[in-house]
Amino acid sequence: MSGTALDATLGGTAADWLALLKPRVMTLVVFTGAMGLLIAPHRLNPVLALTAIFCIAVASGAAGAINMWYDRDIDAVMKRTANRPIPAGRISPEGALGFGIVLACASVLVMAMATNLVAAAVLALSIGFYVFIYTMWLKRSTPQNIVIGGAAGAFPPVIGWAAATGSVGLLPLLLFAIVFFWTPPHFWSLALYASGDYARAGVPMLPVVRGARHTRVCIMVYTLLLLPISLAPYILGLMGPIYGATALLAGVAFAYHSWLVLTDRQDAQGNSLARNAPARAAFKYSILYLFILFGACAVDRLV
């Protein structure tokens, strides 16, 4: 019996079920959600605040599990995702779907119980956006999938703020905009060196449809757009100088990384002759950028 067939017979391990929740994505979602909660003007009881963060984490995991259920066909042909529990045969597609739906419903219900209906409604909206708008509609139909679908990952700071205040204000909407404009250069940097995988799976990522050269230009444009948007909370007086200085420095560094991606040694089609080292560096830095920026929000508010 082959390894995969044996795995399918024996069933997944606890670690496989946890892997369905995409824990690495969850880290960033939880962090931005917690920052939204932390910078809100109202203080929530610590137990309820931790519950709200936990609900954001579980909802993110639930959306990830449903995404893995829907994308199991393309995951199977992509090197990066072929060993995920469903394509590897360790968890059945139906089991993963049920797991995702139960967790999604539970996270929204507990959020409503622990905080308020606004936070629960935005949480439900974020799950629905990721599953129906991004996964089922945009991802396979347009090279702009990441641009519009990026909204799904931008909800957590709004949810965190809503959990504490029961409303949605200008600052969380600006944080939403920051994550929204951060998402395309983040994912396109990854797509530049994983475009072979996406092409094999038939996913119309920008480098696959429009080529690497066009993608490099788009990364630069979105990074430059992100800079003034990230400064807006300071310019509008919603954040202090600690945040303003950090956003400026981190944004310039992000623009520098994007510039290196744009000017990478490349062939006529824009394919890297340097094993996409600048794109890899830009992808790693983009994650650090978001941590720095949202960390500065919290420091600015607490100091």
Using CB under 8 A, list all residues that contact other proteins: 6, 9-15, 17-18, 45, 47-48, 51, 54, 106, 110, 113-114
C-alpha dihedral, 62 to 68 to 70 to 72, nearest 10°:
-160
The CA-atom distances, in angstroms, between 191 and each of 53, 95, 286 are 30, 30, 14
Q: State in angstroms the smallest separation of the CB of 301 from other proteins.
A: 23
Q: State in angstroms the smallest separation of the CB of 276 from other proteins.
A: 38
**Six-digit token string for 214:** 């066009």
DSSP 236: T
Comparing CB distances to other proteins, the nearer of 6 and 236 is 6
Comparing CB distances to other proteins, the nearer of 69 and 294 is 69
| Among 191, 181, 153, 164, residue whose Cα is nearest residue 31 | 153
Comparing CB distances to other proteins, the nearer of 16 and 298 is 16
Q: State in angstroms the smallest separation of the CB of 44 from other proteins.
A: 10
Comparing CB distances to other proteins, the nearer of 49 and 292 is 49
Dist. CA 39–CA 298, nearest whole Å: 6
| CA–centroid distance for 289 within its chain | 13
Comparing CB distances to other proteins, the nearer of 165 and 276 is 165
Helix (H, G, I), strand (E, B) or coil at 164: helix
Longest dimension (CA), the chain: 65
Q: State in angstroms the smallest separation of the CB of 58 from other proteins.
A: 10
CA angle, 78 as apex, 223 and 276 as ends, to 5°? Answer: 40
Comparing CB distances to other proteins, the nearer of 51 and 145 is 51
Give the number of other CB atoms < 10 A from CB of residue 252: 12
Q: State in angstroms the smallest separation of the CB of 156 from other proteins.
A: 20
Do 13 and 272 contact (CB within 8 A), yes or no? no
Comparing CB distances to other proteins, the nearer of 14 and 303 is 14
Dist. CA 196–CA 85, nearest whole Å: 22
Q: State in angstroms the smallest separation of the CB of 86 from other proteins.
A: 16
Q: State in angstroms the smallest separation of the CB of 114 from other proteins.
A: 5
